[in-house]
Structure 1
């Protein structure tokens, strides 16, 4: 596949709305950090070593008779805007997007698997799935990991396990995370208590793009923090138990809000839908907040005319990289806000074709 295939706004397979508990858990991610024995870590290797690792990993993956087909892309050959779009689709990390030495990504055609080469570690194997599927997604990642290990000399120590650039990843090298939409816990101001509880349990809460990113649209990533001293099964079981409890708490908070403040909620949801359909200027923060309200309205049965898969596409559309990708040029913040509003109107307004036929106002940006 060429790169354009992966730059489209259509929601990828891991955003399928039919996933388990998909009204709250948007996706599951498993990431395995691995390094090759005999090479220095990316923090200190040379350009020549980086290129050797890229070549070795790519050859190993292409030698595997796997059901997935992969496409290989070199990061330094990508324009910065295309890198940003791949970050927004969670196919590469913000750190990999900044790499100038020999770094690359191999992406499966259905966008559920990506292998980042020469990010913080030599390999970052990432598998994504819709809804809550920790065991299933880990099985997929582990299968690919074992296949690659037959061709690659992993850096492994009998005492410490898999060796990684960052000590927090030593051991299993496993980072399991779920992306959750928690509007009711946020609205009822219970999210701080949840965050504190997770910290005590050795879990971490991050924003939509992981470490260092902000919470947008009441979406949080919850993941394990400890990889050493626990088996993969223990890490997954602990996270599964925590997520199931959070789902229960979010459902309880939604029921309480619906019971006690239905009219207020209906007003909030419909106002948000109106803004998305008709606003002419929209920041990414406002768009994310409105989409969160509409999604909760759909989940509660208050809003019926907007399919969830359309909301998933809108979540991708509102990101700065995608807005500029559609515009075909780099835009200033104010220009992005106008173009973002235009894209949302076109996506959500059921009378869009009629309006366009009558000469709906367009912005030259």
Structure 2
């Protein structure tokens, strides 16, 4: 399988059969690993980077989860393919712009992705739709163990797995969840939540990680500490924090419904109207409107079976995916027009809103 053919198929996050989780869109676990006796990618010369890339690709393609997957050097990918891989969270923005000797291996289901020669020799990640930390950990732990039998990892009895950045020392594990938190945003409570999460040793980022915006009221929450705790302890602690955030979001929704349902329904209704009638729409605008409709599904304004459509469009409304449908280069304003056309088509047959909920109207 090639990257081109892989991108032509749905991923776990774009497939209509994705998890129907109300608040947690996706869980991800990432492990940072390096090869013993080899310079970290930022210091390695091009011949050594190429040697490491080949060794890692060979080891990965021999593992059970990756045998029928796709593998490519970053230099072999087109700009559009790189952008789509970033939009599907299969590679980082840093890898997409990396130097020669970098690459990626992705399994056929697009649930396991391994970046080679990003900041570390290996960035192994497992993605799961919905709130599935334990399942993601089980998959990545098995793959990591299989790789460790094939590759000589850099490891210290005192410091654990050695990494290019000291903040990843120890387990090298980053567990995260992509959460949809529109009520906390509307109620102006996100800053308070971010401060509380930071005090618990977690970090909050935007849709595409560090330095990105929280388009569509979507935030990534992940652990900061990787040293001094076991992998299981990190995952358990993150799970507790996520459950607390879910509770705060649900409470914020209940309060908005109780005190200002008209304002909330107005936002949802306006979003629905724009998506049905828009003729030019940026990706940020699209994300924010889709976010309100997803909230409407949670509030039973729209039927539950509409959720998969919104979750798919969160990805397919991104610039790279819109560009791919055009089959030729587009300026940003042309993409905005094509995005609006695509969304008008999707929402022409979308369920009509029902604002009569629990006796409210």
- With normalisation by structure 2, the TM-score equals 0.93
Q: Distance in 2 between matches of 1:16 and 1:161?
A: 40
Deviations 1:234-261 (A, max 9, x none): 2111111100000011111111112222
CA shift, 1:218, in A, is 0.1
Q: What CA deviation, in whole Å up to 9, does each residue of 1:123-158 have, x standing for no partner? A: 010001111111221111011000000010000001
SS at match of 1:126: strand
Number of the residue aligned with 1:64: 63
- How many residue pairs match? The answer is 350
1:147 alignment counterpart: 146
Cα distance in 2 for partners of 1:92, 1:85 equals 9
Q: Which residue of 1 aligns with 2:284?
A: 285
Partner of 2:152, secondary structure, is coil
Shift of 1:330: 2.5
1:66-85 correspondence to structure 2 within 5 Å: 66=65, 69-85=68-84
Could you tell me how far apart the structure 1 residues matched to 2:16 and 2:198 are?
29
2:130 match: 131
1:120: how far off?
Answer: 0.5
1:80-129 CA distance string (max 9 Å, x none): 12101100000111011001311111111110000111111000100011
State the alpha-carbon separation in 2 of the partners of residues 92 and 336 from structure 1.
23
Q: CA RMSD in A?
A: 1.8
Question: 1:18: how far off?
Answer: 5.8
What secondary structure does 2:276 align onto? helix
Residues 10 and 313 in structure 1, CA contact (< 8 A), matched pair in contact too: no
Structure 1 residues 180 and 305: CA distance shift in structure 2, 3 A: closer
Partner of 1:181: 180
Q: Alpha-carbon deviation of 1:47?
A: 1.2
Distance 1:204 1:313 in 2: 26
Select between 107-116 and 54-63 the one with higher mean Cα deviation: 54-63
1:144–1:16 CA distance, 2 compared to 1 (3 A): farther
1:73 deviates by 1.3
Matches of 2:210 and 2:100, distance apart in 1: 22
Q: CA deviation at 1:300?
A: 0.5
SS at match of 1:211: coil
**2:191 matches 1:192:** yes
Bigger shift: 154-163 or 315-324? 315-324
CA contact 1:6–1:86 (8 Å) conserved in 2: no
Residue in 2 aligned with 1:359?
none
SS at match of 1:96: helix
Are 2:12 and 1:26 equivalent residues in the alignment? no
Structure 2 distance, partners of 1:321, 1:292, is 20
Aligned to 2:223: 224
TM-score, normalised relative to structure 1: 0.92
Q: Aligned residue for 2:263? A: 264
